[in-house]
Amino acid sequence: MLPPFRRCPLEIRTHRTRNRACGVIGRLGAGFRGAGGLPPSSAVGFPRGADMKMGEVIGGVIVLLFGALTIVLSLQLPIGTFRMAGSGLFPMWLGIVLILLSLLHLGNLRLKGGSRLEGEEKAEPPSEATKQMMLFLGASVLATVCLDILGFPLTAFLLMLLLLRILGVRGPAMLVAMPLLTALAAYFLFVRFLKIPLPKGLIGL
């Protein structure tokens, strides 16, 4: 009877080749991190990289596409020679290096599998918190849109009001007093004290 062995992220038919492949995979997978090879747990339950953490792969692909885009755009610039480099040469090489690194990263993910990726989130953030974060960012985006129209003091007041509300501040006194004080303090600090012009908007302050 053949001895049991670790499951390996590649589809390998025979026990001999399978064991050999696992050794190589362990070495490559750990190569850049110095993680000491794949722990047995990393291979268990991972047949062929199929359940590889999707976010990691998407991240790698985005970086790869960014590298490709850089090369395409660089080729539209003068490349020159190594002796007299044009403005496109350096970014083009950077694009090539980025593609190579992202390919290595993706290959590493493929070999390592999905169970022990660095920085992997064990638990997804609660949807309510994510919604809160999106609202927070959305309010900041809205304030940026309104800055030139409403001017700094009013925008600052409204932004603070919105952000405090999003973070669960309920008391009407706090909701009005805090934004008012902050907007006035920021206005006096930047405009009056530091003499830095801020958007005046329709109010003209």
Strand partners, 126: none
Between 51 and 66, name the residue whose CB sits nearer to another protein: 66
Taking CB under 8 A as the rule, does residue 27 contact another protein? yes
CA distances from 131 to 27, 81, 136, 139 (A): 41, 51, 9, 12
Taking CB under 8 A as the rule, does residue 5 contact another protein? no
Between 12 and 63, name the residue whose CB sits nearer to another protein: 63
Neighbours of 10 (CB within 10 A): 16
The single residue listed with the structure tokens 């925008």 is 155
Using the rule CB under 8 A, give the single segment among 5-13, 14-22, 41-49, 164-172 that binds another protein.
Answer: 164-172
Residues 75 to 114: which contact another protein by CB under 8 A?
77-78, 81-91, 94-95, 97-98, 101-102, 104-105, 108
Are 139 and 166 contacting, i.e. CB atoms less than 8 angstroms apart? yes
Taking CB under 8 A as the rule, does residue 137 contact another protein? yes
Taking CB under 8 A as the rule, does residue 42 contact another protein? no
Between 44 and 97, name the residue whose CB sits nearer to another protein: 97
Question: What's the min distance (Å) between Cβ of 49 and another protein?
Answer: 17
- What does the alpha-carbon distance between residue 184 and residue 205 come to, in Å, rounded to a whole number? 11
Burial degree of 201 (CB within 10 A; 0-12, 13-18, 19+): middle
Q: Report helix angle 152-166 to 127-150, nearest 10.
A: 170
Between 47 and 73, name the residue whose CB sits nearer to another protein: 73
* Number of residues this chain uses to bind another protein (CB under 8 A): 78
Between 44 and 137, name the residue whose CB sits nearer to another protein: 137
Query: What amino acid is encoded at 109 in this protein?
Result: L
Strand partners, 85: 80
- What does the alpha-carbon distance between residue 173 and residue 148 come to, in Å, rounded to a whole number? 28
**Residue from the set 5, 16, 20, 32 that interacts with another protein by CB under 8 A:** 32
**Residue from the set 65, 72, 75, 167 that interacts with another protein by CB under 8 A:** 167
